[in-house]
Amino acid sequence: MNLKGTQTEKNLLTAFSGESQARNRYTYFASQA
């Protein structure tokens, strides 16, 4: 299955980057508490 350049690939990348940004934000706030 070749996803390169497809909408599915974009969706996966967007979901992955959004997930990691959210986790970083939670980790940051937890460390500040």
Token representation of residue 17: 């980057």
Angle, vertex CA 21, rays to CA 19 and CA 26, nearest 5: 95
pTM of the model: 0.41
Q: Which stretch of DSSP H or E encloses residue 18?
A: helix 7-32
User: For tokens 């939670």, what's the residue?
Assistant: 26
pLDDT at position 20: 80
Angle, vertex CA 10, rays to CA 9 and CA 11, nearest 5: 90
7-25 tens-digit pLDDT: 888 888 888 877 888 888 8
pLDDT at position 1: 66
What's the farthest any 2 CA atoms get from each other in the chain? 45
